[in-house]
Amino acid sequence: MPKVFIIPHYHYKNQFSKFLSKANQTQESFEFYLLPPETENETPLRKTVADYTEILAFLDNQKKRMGLSLEDLLIAFYDGVITASEHGLTNLFIAGANREDPYPCTAAVSLKFISWGILEQKYDYSLQRHALFHLVMCTLIGAYTKVAAHQQTYGCLLDFNNQLVDFNRKLQMGYYLCSNNQSDCYAAMQSERYGKSIIRLGEVLRDDVDKEEVIKIIQNIQQIMTSNELGNILDRIVNGQHTEADIATLHRLLSEGKHERLLQVGKYHVNIGQGQDIKVGDRVYQGLDAEAVREVVRAVLQGYNASDIRGIVRSVLKEDFPNMAQPDHSQSSLQKTILVLASSPKNEARLRLDQEVREIDEGLRRSQQRDKFTLQQRWAVRPDDLRRALLDLNPQIVHFCGHGSGEDGLVLEDNAGLAQLVPTQALANLFKRFATRGLECVVLNACYAEVQANAIAEHIDYVVGMNSSIGDKAAIKFAVGFYDELGAGYSYEDAYHGGCDAIALQGIPEEHIPVLKQLKKKSN
């Protein structure tokens, strides 16, 4: 019986465990095994082909427990494919990373990537056919675990040398699990048409039908994926709810071909320069909404960021977005906005900011009062990005993660992604104006940021800074403890102590580095 080995992202191991338990009880075609990382911080797979030996070393450790053979293995990457001719490998290893994670720690292969290999004839078709066949299986697995699998396949090793038994039944079972009375899981499949196309693709790959038929189905799936992704992004933009990640994705979609063709879905072909409705999948943009979409496309192609584009859409629609209403800024407000600002310039030491933000998000999601917080993220922050994010979001909490430089200021990024210092007094003056607009707390999770914390605390009630250099692990643990306390309904002062406790409980001797500055206590 073929074996399926899944190596999930750490945060998704529980979902995969539930899937494997049910799958092993309801089908007889595969044996499923979970290969979790040995520790939370272990990153078993990396992004580049150069790390091939490291991947094999990790798998060798798993071999002792699972009897995993390393002799028949094909490893696929974003950056290329280690082919069978190079290493005598025949099986497929697939791993992936969260598309919202800006610094993926694992290798990633997507349905789109392998489809591209077939369409562009980049690799041997028979090899790619095997890869695509098993990615179909990963799509079904990923959908059941509430992961949009064509974007976030978290890992699968499939032995395709053994003959597959009752393949149609297996596919139907997988699709049934994905869609039967489970709206969240079904949504991960995008649509019924998408799910049926995936199943059809699996059937033609299994039967090794003519390559042209495979290409036709791939093109249909890509059209569904692109129209859904594009439509969702445009909806968020028109409603003022988009992020930098949305703009980056839209820029990628636009860059893949002429933007006029991007808006072609099915029989519709709309030129963005014409004054007519824009149809994308089932969505229709009319009047000012259509004009806003045209302006957004032009702005993205010219390199505008999310804040600029939000202003453009607002000016076209001539109205404020629903989420722009001024919130109740008291600490007992129904919902608080946490603005996370991340900066790690290319010419500075690389920080694990992705893990810090992910841990904050996970902590808030599992908290008792998760509905009272909304998390907004800004990455590779430049001085203008900082100012505009404050204007656009009017947050109650600002969390900066990155580098500090003591008396010289905080380290943001310039247009080239290099370090740019922001003077302490300039930061203090900026936050001073937002003190009257509801800003309650600022966390500077950066080395030697106590100088800036002192200056900002002249105007903001609660400010946290670091009085020395702080390690990545301690910084992450402080953030986790801080927001766990807030998510449980406790005060900013309690949150500060919770963050320090989280460091100490790990045995890290850095719990005295974070310092809390309180304007109200100082005034009293």
**DSSP states of 189-200:** T--HHHHHHHHH
Total of domains in the chain: 3
**Residue 450: pLDDT above 50?**
yes
- Mean pLDDT rounded to a whole number for the chain: 61
**Looking up tokens 């400010």, which residue turns up?**
463
Query: Has residue 330 been placed in a domain?
Result: no
Q: Are residues 299 and 343 in the same domain?
A: no
Q: What's the pLDDT score for residue 369?
A: 75
Query: Has residue 214 been placed in a domain?
Result: no
Residue ending a domain, among 291, 323, 355, is 323
Tokens, residue 151? 């974007």
**Strands ordered across the beta sheet of 74-77:** 31-34, 3-6, 156-158, 92-94, 74-77, 80-81
Query: Has residue 194 been placed in a domain?
Result: yes
Query: Has residue 166 been placed in a domain?
Result: yes
DSSP code, position 314: H
The mean pLDDT value for 434-451 works out to 91
Alpha helices in 239-348 (DSSP H): 244-255, 259-262, 287-301, 306-317
For residues 218 and 70, the model is more confident at 218
Residue ending a domain, among 150, 180, 209, is 209
Q: Are residues 235 and 172 in the same domain?
A: no
Angstrom distance (rounded) from CA 147 to CA 278: 30
Q: What's the pLDDT score for residue 162?
A: 30
Q: Are residues 42 and 70 in the same domain?
A: yes
> Is residue 356 very low, low, confident or very high in pLDDT (cuts 50, 70, 90)?
confident
Angstrom distance (rounded) from CA 159 to CA 89: 12
Q: Are residues 473 and 501 in the same domain?
A: yes
For residues 344 and 467, the model is more confident at 467
Q: Are residues 199 and 262 in the same domain?
A: no
Q: Are residues 387 and 418 in the same domain?
A: yes
**Residue 121: pLDDT above 90?**
no
Q: Are residues 306 and 374 in the same domain?
A: no
Query: Has residue 353 been placed in a domain?
Result: yes
Task: Give the H/E segment covering residue 464.
Answer: strand 462-466
For residues 229 and 99, the model is more confident at 229
**Residue 105: pLDDT above 80?**
no
Query: Has residue 266 been placed in a domain?
Result: yes
Q: What's the pLDDT score for residue 429?
A: 93
- Identify which of 420, 414, 413, 410 has the alpha carbon closest to the alpha carbon of residue 445: 410
DSSP code, position 3: E
Q: Are residues 350 and 491 in the same domain?
A: yes
pTM above 0.85, yes or no: no
Angstrom distance (rounded) from CA 219 to CA 443: 47
> Is residue 109 very low, low, confident or very high in pLDDT (cuts 50, 70, 90)?
very low
Q: Are residues 282 and 372 in the same domain?
A: no
Query: Has residue 341 been placed in a domain?
Result: yes
Query: Has residue 25 been placed in a domain?
Result: yes
Q: Are residues 264 and 413 in the same domain?
A: no
Residue ending a domain, among 209, 244, 279, is 209
Q: Are residues 463 and 352 in the same domain?
A: yes
Q: What's the pLDDT score for residue 482?
A: 93
DSSP code, position 164: P
Q: Are residues 115 and 173 in the same domain?
A: yes
| Structural domain of 48 | 3-209
> Is residue 167 very low, low, confident or very high in pLDDT (cuts 50, 70, 90)?
very low
CATH number of the domain residue 392 falls in: 3.40.50.1460
Q: What's the pLDDT score for residue 379?
A: 80
The mean pLDDT value for 395-411 works out to 87
